[in-house]
Structure 1
Amino acid sequence: MLERIKNIAWEHREQITAWRHEFHANPEVSFQEFETTKRIKNYLEKMGFQNLRVGTAGVETGVVADLNPQKKGPCIALRADIDALPMQEQGNPPYRSKNDGVMHACGHDSHIAMLLGAAQVLKSMENELPGRIRFIFQPSEESPHKSGARAMIEEGVLEGVDAIAGLHIWSSLPAGIVGYKAGPFMASADEWECVVHGKGGHGAVPHLAFDPIVAASAMVGALQTIVSREIDPLEAVVVTCAHIESGTTFNIIPDKAFMEGTVRTFNQEVRSTIPERMERIIKGISDAMRCKSEFKYKNVLPPTVNDKAFTERAAEVARALLGDENVREVVPTMGAEDMGLYLERIPGTFMFLGTYNEAKGTVNPQHHPEYDVDDDVLPLGSALLSAIAWDFFRRKN
């Protein structure tokens, strides 16, 4: 069966590539994927899917399609994200973005194409499948505050679903290599901000002011002691200050400073302790330097934690499908993904599919203005998603 799945996917490789190029040329940002949604719906209808659900969070973006909806067997969901990034493409492929200031620079065009390919493969064998498959084309992954995954979950996309799987194109892995990791796979992503209120004055007489820039600068350094001196060295934690803004000119001490950043970790228990640790340090420095501070912390996305048994089985399927040499265990990344919201609720796996290929020039990292992928990996992704679904049913029966 695996060889059959692989062959069907490969037979559709030109169509899958054409889909990727079409979506790459017509990118749309989070919760504005209107044309993207129409195109996905159109292709699914041509395959024979009926009763498609369109729209998420009151916006006509995102598509959900069910295969074998009347069957009573188990149900697995396959997920792809569909939004692009607000950035200008600088590369010049034939399928270059037609929308100024918007680009598929993270591989979501590939994700759409691979999931459409999987839908095509599995639709061709629907009568042989003893259960249901839900195809989730999710909007707004790139906007964590307005997560499409969170919206879809709140609207019931996981009702009746027993497991979920997804693939992410990964620029640092060689083309065609599948990367997996049971357990924590991608980090949480939280945001924080702080306003330091001081007392402005002339730069020539700093003793008459309460300098918020000096206080903020001390905070940036001191916050790093959370990781270096308060957290177990074997835990992976990042506390980053990424934006500082204060003052208007060279000789005026301002009356306030603003800073913001992100916190990443794989450990939910550690994650829960970070806000208090940060606030304690910030308040202590504010008091010591005669300033006041306002600190806000927002939990945004949880870590993406792969179910151990499901992931190890999916890796076995990948080896059987693609060969042992093309599947490897990878280290987790501190990048974040709202796929973790699904995996908080049901077992499943999220895996990487490499696309780095020097011969084809697909060497730039995600979010690079000349980012592109090796199209030859796309049918492999469609085949792998299909094979994971088929294996899920085989094990359930």
Structure 2
Amino acid sequence: MKRVYMDANATTPLVPEVLDAMRPYFIEHFGNASSIHQQGQHARAAVEQARESVAALVNCRPAEIVFTSGGTESDNMALFGLVGPGDHLITSSIEHHAVLHAAEKLRDRGAEVTFVPVSGEGAVDPQVVRRSIKPNTKLISIMMANNETGVIQPVSEIGRIAAEADIFFHTDAVQAAGKLTIDVQTLRCDLLSISGHKMHAPQGTGVLYVRRGTQLEPLFFGGSHERQRRAGTENLPGIVGLGKAAEIARAALTDGTIQKVAALRNRLEQGVLAQVEETGVNGGNSARVANTTNLYFDNLEGEALVIALDLKGLCTSGGSACASGAAEPSHVLSAMNLTPARARASLRFSLTKQTTEDDIDFALSIIPTAAARLRELAPVNAGTLG
């Protein structure tokens, strides 16, 4: 059976160049980057080369890059590293749970937290962020691009607001890295999170950019790794892979790859809207990352459609993979004021850089039939807007 993967926002496959870069560091060059012998120093050189590659992707100093185990750790390090009891944190209602749940835990520990709302198109209003600032505001954390809708947030303006108020600013760029040009100087952010497996690097790798002079309380205690910011022996093969993926991602921003992905996404989106009744795009009137569309299919259950498409060979998602199986509708779509029924009837299609025209043809050949079949089987009022 032909299988097509359209769930890149959950994870992406390693590209061959990344695997080839990693391969020697599993067996041949296996040294501990903290050791002073030749094996260790060879490993250290590889780590620092990867650090330079990631730094080039976001336009920062290599010394400002901290390698982590992924986006969740990077987000947690940013929030718990700066915010304490009595401090005020501003974040949004559509953040990834790595930020939302961290914020809730900080609130339990005595911090004050404001969750700013979003528009019906899924975007934060920078002026609402400005009005939420208090004398004790320590950190503003707003994602760069939403993982479910792909909607790009006005982080440059929010960074400017934070800088003017002398408040730390963090952005979760997990779904933006490799899809948007990122310049931490232009963003004026103090912290920025990246996850390797969203940009064709291995799972279990990530980055936190920490602007020079930003004092973070570490999450882990042990050795003096990562300039005493993240204890633990570096994941050598993973870091090498992440560095190579950063080089590939940087090239894709200027070689037409992103435009090609956007054209494929648009063709998929337009094809579904033309062939399937009672459909629409969540956040479709906002700027979005090139690979993502979130479509609603009224009068059916999205989870049932995900399963039906999977049985036909198409991998897609009902929302964030980290919330898979949750009984409640997507918190992102709920924050956009979708009814619970429409939120549950929504699917996310997120393309990889390897997606082809044939893949789009395949998807458009099965989605209309699957949706029609489920609507025939559904109770008369199931999945309506209510």
Q: Would the TM-score normalized by the shorter structure come out above 0.5? A: no
Band the TM-score falls in, shorter-chain normalisation = under 0.3
Greater Rg by CA: 1
Normalising by structure 1, report the TM-score: 0.24
Judging by fraction of residues, say which structure has more strand.
1
